[in-house]
Amino acid sequence: MKVSDILRVKGGTLFTVSPDQPLGEAIKTMAEHDIGSLVVMEHGDLVGMLTFREVIQAIVNNGGTVGETLVRSVMDNAPLTCTLETEIDEVRRMMLGRHARYMPVMNQRTLMGVISFYDVAKAVVDSQDFENRMLKAYIRDWPGADGGEPVQTL
């Protein structure tokens, strides 16, 4: 399974922010859309990632307020990225290794979407559920499983 499979199901809605935007505005966008991250874009290029982790740390560091803080000063300026062709197992390893909850998906320099650890976990569980159903159907339809001819063993 690849990242493209997740994005095909998830859809392509993207929320971005400018690095020079006030942090308060970015937080408002995150709250309005019930999202945990914003991709930080400047002149059409990915320059960072803002997640609730960076927001909380900024608020704590600023005495409980955001004040005049800009996104640029708190964003992760070296976020993990993947491509549409990246295997889900590799994404999972990368996210676990960096404790990343969100990962921008790039096609060369074009932002294609963002996947979350939840998206990855859901895709894995859905795939395992499908495989489980197929195996149960295979066993159920095994010759002799219906009470007819017994299955011969060697």
Distance, CA of 83 to CA of 91 (rounded, Å): 10
Whether the CB-CB separation of 9 and 37 falls below 8 Å is answered with: no
DSSP 71-126: GGGTSBSS---EETT-BHHHHHHHHHHHT-SEEEEEETTEEEEEEEHHHHHHHHHH
Residues 31, 36, 39: CA angle, nearest 5 degrees? 105
pTM, 2 dp: 0.78
C-beta of residue 126 within 8 angstroms of C-beta of residue 114? no
Q: Tens-of-pLDDT digits for all 154 residues of the chain?
A: 899 999 988 877 899 999 999 999 999 999 999 999 999 999 999 999 999 999 999 999 999 999 899 999 999 999 999 999 999 999 999 999 999 999 999 999 899 999 999 999 888 787 666 676 777 777 777 776 555 555 556 6
What is residue 51's DSSP assignment?
E
Do residues 40 and 50 lie in contact, with contact meaning Cβ atoms separated by under 8 Å?
yes
